[in-house]
Amino acid sequence: MFDLASLERSVRRDRALGAALALVAGATNAGGFIAVGQYTSHMTGIVSALAEDLAFARTRLALAALGSVAAFVCGAMTTALAVNWARRREMQSRYALPLLIEAVMLLAFGLLGKMLAMYTVLVAPLTVLTLCFLMGLQNAVITKVSGAVIRTTHVTGLLTDIGIELGRMAYLNRAPLGEPVRGNRERLFVHLTLLGAFALGGVLGSFGFRAFGYFATLPLAGLLVLLGTKPLLLDLRHAAA
C-alpha cells in the first residue's frame, strides 16, 4: 500500500494502484451525485449533454457542461505538469504528487462542504467543477503510470475490453485457419477487478455520504495520503541529506 505510487513500477503494482484509485473514483463519483445530482466522471455523457444544450440554445446549461469538461482536462493537465516537473528533478514522488493534491482537495471538500452547503447557488457548480477536476487528475495519474494501459474512471472502456476478451474466449477454433483466437484471462481479470473496485467505491460512497455527509470524503483523502506519503518522504530525506 505504502509504495504503490513509488517510482519503481511493476505490472502488479500498477494494477493494485489502479484498483485503489478506481475505488476512490467510484466513491467520489457516487458521493458527488448525492451532493449535487450529477456524475462527474462521465465525460461522454457530459459532452453529449453539451451538444444537446447547444443544439437547443440552452446557453447556461451548455456553459456548465463546457466548464465540467474544461475542469476534467485541467485536472489531467495538472497531473502532467506535476509529473514532468518532478521527473526533470529526478524526484521519487513524481506519481505521488498528483495523488497528494487530490487528497488535499478531498480533505478540504469534506471539511468545508457542510459549512458551505447553505450557499447552494455558489457551491453546487463549484463542487461539480472540483470533482471533475479530481477525476481528470487521478485518471491521468494511472494513465501515466501504466503507459495508458489502465484508466480508473473510464468504465465504458473497461466494459468494452471485458466484452472483447469474453468474445475471444467464446470463439470456437474449429477450422485450422491461421493463428487461433485466444482470450487473455489475465487481462480480463484486471478489467473485472477495476470495474468491481469502481462499483464497490460507488456503493461505499453512496452509503458513506448518506450517513456522514461531506465527511465521507475524509477516508478517501486518507487512502490517497497513504499511497503518496512514502515517495514524498524519500524526496524530503534526500533533500535534507
Q: Quick check: is 169 in a domain?
A: yes
Can you list the residues of the chain whose pLDDT is less than 50?
none
Q: Quick check: is 187 in a domain?
A: yes
Residue 148 confidence (pLDDT): 73
Q: Quick check: is 137 in a domain?
A: yes
Q: Quick check: is 166 in a domain?
A: yes
**Residue-range definition of the domain harbouring residue 167:** 11-230
Q: How many domains does the chain have?
A: 1
Look at residues 174, 206, 188, 96 and name the one whose alpha carbon lies nearest to residue 141: 96
| The pTM of the whole model exceeds 0.85 | yes
State residue 90 phi and psi, 5-degree precision: 55, 45
Q: Quick check: is 240 in a domain?
A: no
Residue 122 confidence (pLDDT): 63
Residue 116 confidence (pLDDT): 65
Place of cell 505521488: 96
Q: Quick check: is 238 in a domain?
A: no
Q: Is 219 strand, coil or helix? A: helix
DSSP letter at 92 equals T
Q: Quick check: is 2 in a domain?
A: no
